[in-house]
Amino acid sequence: MEEKEHVRLWNECLKIIADNIPSVSFDRWFMPIVPLSWENKKLTVSVPSYFYAEYLDEHYCNLLKSTLTRVLGSDSQLSYSLFDSTVECKSGHVIPVKENAERADVYNPFPQTPNRRAIEPQLNPHYTFDTFVEGDCNKLARSAGMKIAENPGKNTFNPIFIYGGSGLGKTHLAQAIGWATLEKHPEMRVLYVDSNRFLSQYQNAVVHNRTNDFIAFYQMIDLLIVDDIQYFAGKGGTQNVFFQIFNHLQLNGKQIILIADQSPKLLQGLDDRMLTRFRWGLNAEIELPSSETRKEILKSKVRTDGLSIPDNVLDYIAEHVSDSVRELEGVINSLLAQSTLTDAEINMDLVRRVVSSLVSAPERTVTVASIQEAVCNYYGLEPHMLQSNSRKREVVQARQIAMFLSRKYTKVSLTSIGEQIGNRDHATVLYAVKSIQNLVEVDKEVQYSVEAIESSLK
């Protein structure tokens, strides 16, 4: 029964907390917390994010302190855990989980938590399939992931290589596969590791002469998730040991899940042998969610967190915030924070303010081509004139201004600017840039023209 003790104690705390704060705040800030363990007078609970831990600490410090003292005694401690790491919070009563002594039987490079599995999967309790919304952007990866969990290692998706931009749900999905695997195969050793963590563990093992132990540990895993492997780029030693582990696991029918910000084709700085093997399995991209999916994600978040946010507010967020799911969550968090702090209702007015402060208008990208277009518009020239060999005075000047502005507003090299403007060499471009620079100083008309074209670019 001892494992259940942390749940019982935390429920006791919740009762007191619920009596002391408005139910909206309680649902928002306390319901999502998951109790993890109660050991040596220390209660460890899992929270969804750093933002969350900081917010709790800042706004509910006194309440938490007095509640803990009542339920757990005066010398108790509370620790927030973000799956594998812990946050030390300002109020002082919160401390990170202490590293436990390693088990005698296996060398384990991860800090051990008591009363748990011999190998902690290092999964975030919030990243499950239940909370992962399906959309066209993630359909393939998600359904492959569910099949993997049925039969890890013994499927055609081994390895599965999940890739895509930041904040699109790669980590969430991979961890959901981990949880689903554990649910169906509780005996399996599932492990999530971020590539940076793997790197530092490896360096540590080298320093302490434990490289073999390190490799042996990873070779024991049944389902290994390695996140953000683009950070292995240029790290030859780490890639070598990872390659050994990878081969061993694959030969033994163990499942491997790899995550990166690029497809294996575009990843740079990684060993070709490895990239070839990554392509053997399934390469699944996670793309930007459509506005429909964004809406679904927002609705699901509101549902699971028990929030009350009007539909038109959610629609507004889904329409205006499109860069990533992480950004959507950021808007929700800041809406909640603002409304709790200022006691304001969550309405269109508030959401407009929050969105405009968080999401800057997309900058128009200025390219050599768009500059040429603007210059031609200004001088009323046919688009191809700048490319031509015409030596007419006004064409020459327009061409030089296009080169000058390309230098000023793009990061393109002189050579490439020359290539794009009528295939001229880099000396010609340099000469043009200098000429216009000088002319702008002394010739009002040129100065005026340049400024007018510049403003049409923005």
Return residues touching Mg ion (CB under 5 A).
Answer: 171
Using the contact rule CB under 6 A, the part of the chain among 32-40, 101-109, 186-194, 323-331 near ligand ADP is 323-331
Least distance CB 139 / Mg ion (angstroms): 19
With respect to ligand ADP, which residue has the nearer C-beta, 27 or 327? 327
With respect to ligand ADP, which residue has the nearer C-beta, 56 or 137? 137
C-beta separation of 283 from 159 below 8 A:
no
Window 117-146: residues binding ligand ADP (CB under 6 A): 131-133, 138
Is 170 among the residues that bind ligand ADP (CB under 6 A)?
Answer: yes
Least distance CB 411 / ligand ADP (angstroms): 26
Cα separations (Å) of 406 from 205, 271, 394, 457? 50, 37, 18, 11
Q: Which partner from the list Mg ion, ligand ADP, none does 32 bind, CB cut-off 5 to 8 Å by kind?
A: none
Is 202 among the residues that bind ligand ADP (CB under 6 A)?
Answer: no
Is 330 among the residues that bind ligand ADP (CB under 6 A)?
Answer: no
Tokens of 317: 């967020």
Selection from 268, 266, 269, 242 nearest residue 159 by Cα: 242
DSSP 17-85: HHHHS-HHHHHHHTTT-EEEEEETTEEEEE-S-HHHHHHHHHHSHHHHHHHHHHHH-TT-EEEEEETTE
Least distance CB 193 / Mg ion (angstroms): 12
How crowded is residue 407: how many other Cβ atoms within 10 Å of its Cβ? 21
Cα separations (Å) of 397 from 109, 337, 373, 403, 458? 66, 55, 15, 10, 22
Is 166 among the residues that bind ligand ADP (CB under 6 A)?
Answer: yes
Using the contact rule CB under 6 A, the part of the chain among 88-96, 115-123, 322-330, 361-369 near ligand ADP is 322-330
Using the contact rule CB under 6 A, the part of the chain among 78-86, 232-240, 321-329, 407-415 near ligand ADP is 321-329
Is 84 among the residues that bind ligand ADP (CB under 6 A)?
Answer: no
With respect to ligand ADP, which residue has the nearer C-beta, 131 or 435? 131
Window 252-281: residues binding ligand ADP (CB under 6 A): none
Q: Which partner from the list ligand ADP, Mg ion, none does 132 bind, CB cut-off 5 to 8 Å by kind?
A: ligand ADP
Distance CA 302, CA 318 (A): 13
Distance CA 153, CA 377 (A): 60
Distance CA 22, CA 13 (A): 15
C-beta separation of 153 from 214 below 8 A:
no
Using the contact rule CB under 6 A, the part of the chain among 78-86, 169-177, 330-338, 375-383 near ligand ADP is 169-177
With respect to ligand ADP, which residue has the nearer C-beta, 214 or 232? 232
Q: Which partner from the list Mg ion, ligand ADP, none does 69 bind, CB cut-off 5 to 8 Å by kind?
A: none
Which residue in the set 103, 265, 303, 326 belongs to the binding site for ligand ADP (CB under 6 A)?
326
Least distance CB 334 / ligand ADP (angstroms): 14
Least distance CB 72 / Mg ion (angstroms): 34
87 DSSP β-pair partners: 80
C-beta separation of 225 from 175 below 8 A:
yes
Is 168 among the residues that bind ligand ADP (CB under 6 A)?
Answer: yes
Using the contact rule CB under 6 A, the part of the chain among 218-226, 325-333, 376-384, 420-428 near ligand ADP is 325-333
Distance CA 286, CA 160 (A): 13
Which residue in the set 13, 56, 144, 297 belongs to the binding site for ligand ADP (CB under 6 A)?
297
Selection from 130, 159, 417, 412 nearest residue 282 by Cα: 159
Which residue's CB atom is positioned nearest to ligand ADP? 169
With respect to ligand ADP, which residue has the nearer C-beta, 145 or 422? 145
With vertex at residue 208, the alpha carbon angle to CA 206 and CA 214, rounded to the nearest 5 degrees, is 60
Which residue's CB atom is positioned nearest to Mg ion? 171
Q: Supply φ then ψ for residue 431, to 5 degrees.
A: -60, -45
Selection from 67, 85, 84 nearest residue 76 by Cα: 67
The number of angstroms, rounded, from the C-alpha of 278 to the middle of its chain's C-alpha atoms is 22
Cα separations (Å) of 185 from 28, 104, 151, 152? 33, 25, 9, 9
Q: Which partner from the list Mg ion, ligand ADP, none does 138 bind, CB cut-off 5 to 8 Å by kind?
A: ligand ADP
The identity of residue 180, as a single letter, is A
Using the contact rule CB under 6 A, the part of the chain among 6-14, 167-175, 236-244, 408-416 near ligand ADP is 167-175
Chain contacts with ligand ADP (rule: CB under 6 A)? 131-133, 138, 166-172, 297, 325-326, 329
